[in-house]
């Protein structure tokens, strides 16, 4: 297939659904890692089309959703300091910290700006030499190369008034944390195709082998997802556990070498706290010692107290695949996109936002 529209074609959707129904004989629980995959599953009604034996649960693959309250508070603190401009992607402005969001502090007069690229933040630093520009760098391995490149570019251009507040998280350690959890019920993963476009496939082989769990690298269109589900179920029904690549039109085994080299030049692997999940060792990127002058935590000597998560938000259970959004007593009641209790109701990749906007009455009735 050559065109994106072909991955939405009803004939192929019907074909893969028929094959899924044909091969499925047992109950299986599959987790799609990426929030973009979650939105596609819900928006396109795929959850309603699947056999009753297959349950899709929604993983922690929304970078906005897993950013903890304490890091949001760091960004808010920086935005309140004189002479600092905080920049980030649009979704981050509405995610609640312990007391307010970046949008709230912007409404109070802080200079908080929405940008579409960290390279725009470097340009902003060059144009405003009297200001400190901090880019709130959130994301999985997909956005890390551009954030690393922004530091390299700032360094090469002699720009010293630029830094990033890193909140990068890594997929494989999160998968291992989920599989190691005593409450784990995941039978197979649909891995995030865009992450693997950068990182390749090598990291997933040890996970599939160690936990006897199939991993299918999958795209985001309806046909991608149904083919990924089919491949996963075929493995499960045969008692197999291997890594397969449904997203071969983009993902190569070794990934993007140049992107990985840029990340490794700028970042060091570090422990990272995930909202609602807790600390996952070696699951994040932090600016390394070589480029520490571009690390906002070092530059501004950040040492804020650890903030507690909102106890009314069950985002952790949702992102572990233990509960669905409708099983939260606050869903669509005290928690709505305009007044979110937690990040999954904010982000364009959040499971709660997907269910709020797109879930069918059938899906609601089955869960409630």
What are the residue boundaries of the structural domains of the chain, listed by start? Answer: 11-301+308-313, 315-367
Q: Which CATH number fits domain 11-301+308-313: 3.40.50.11740, 3.40.50.2300, 3.30.70.330, 3.20.20.220?
A: 3.40.50.11740
Measured CA to CA, the distance from residue 347 to residue 95 in angstroms comes to: 8
DSSP 221-281: SHHHHHHHHHHHHHHHHHT---EEETTTTT--TT--HHHHHHHHHHEEEEEEEETTTEEEE
Considering only CA atoms, which of 215, 193, 230 is closest in space to residue 14?
230
pLDDT for residue 363: 52
Question: What average pLDDT does the chain have?
Answer: 92
| C-alpha count within 13 angstroms, C-beta hemisphere, residue 183 | 9
User: What does the pLDDT look like over 132-168, one tens digit per residue?
Assistant: 999 999 999 999 999 999 999 999 999 999 999 999 9
Single pTM value for the model = 0.91
Residue with tokens 């259970």: 317
Measured CA to CA, the distance from residue 117 to residue 145 in angstroms comes to: 11
At residue 65 the predicted structure's pLDDT band, cuts being 50, 70 and 90, is confident
At residue 96 the predicted structure's pLDDT band, cuts being 50, 70 and 90, is confident
Considering only CA atoms, which of 268, 315, 243, 95 is closest in space to residue 170?
268
């Amino acid at each position: 297939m050559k065109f994106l529209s072909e991955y939405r074609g009803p004939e192929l959707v019907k074909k893969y659904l028929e094959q899924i129904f044909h091969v499925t004989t047992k109950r299986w629980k599959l987790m799609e890692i990426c929030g973009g995959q979650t939105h596609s599953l819900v928006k396109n009604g795929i959850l309603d089309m699947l056999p009753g034996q297959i349950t899709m649960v929604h993983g922690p693959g929304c970078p906005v959703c897993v950013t903890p309250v304490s890091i949001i508070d760091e960004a808010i603190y920086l935005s309140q300091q004189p002479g600092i401009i905080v920049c980030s992607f649009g979704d981050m402005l509405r995610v609640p910290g312990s007391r307010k969001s970046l949008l709230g502090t912007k409404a109070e007069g802080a200079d908080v700006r929405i940008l579409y690229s960290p390279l725009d933040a470097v340009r902003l630093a060059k144009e405003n030499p009297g200001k400190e520009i901090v880019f709130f760098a959130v994301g999985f391995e997909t956005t890390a190369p551009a954030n690393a490149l922004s530091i390299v570019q700032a360094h090469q251009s002699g720009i010293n008034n630029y830094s990033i507040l890193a909140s990068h998280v890594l997929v494989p350690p999160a998968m291992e944390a989920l599989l190691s959890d005593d409450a784990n019920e995941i039978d197979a993963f649909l891995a995030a195709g865009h992450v693997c476009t950068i990182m390749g496939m090598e990291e997933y082989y040890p996970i599939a082998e160690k936990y006897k769990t199939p991993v299918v690298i999958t795209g985001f269109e309806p046909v991608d997802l149904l083919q990924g589900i089919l491949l996963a179920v075929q493995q499960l029904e045969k008692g197999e556990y291997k890594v397969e690549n449904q997203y071969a039109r983009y993902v190569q085994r070794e990934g993007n070498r140049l992107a990985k080299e840029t990340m490794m030049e700028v970042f060091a692997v570090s422990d990272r706290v995930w909202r609602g999940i807790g600390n996952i060792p070696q699951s994040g990127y932090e600016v390394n010692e070589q480029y520490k002058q571009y690390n906002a935590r070092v530059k501004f000597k950040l040492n804020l107290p650890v903030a507690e998560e909102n106890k009314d938000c069950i985002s952790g259970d949702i992102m572990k695949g233990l509960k669905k959004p409708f099983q939260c007593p606050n869903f669509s009641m005290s928690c709505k996109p305009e007044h979110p209790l937690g990040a999954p109701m904010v982000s364009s990749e959040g499971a709660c936002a997907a269910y709020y906007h797109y879930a069918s009455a059938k899906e609601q009735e089955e869960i409630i």
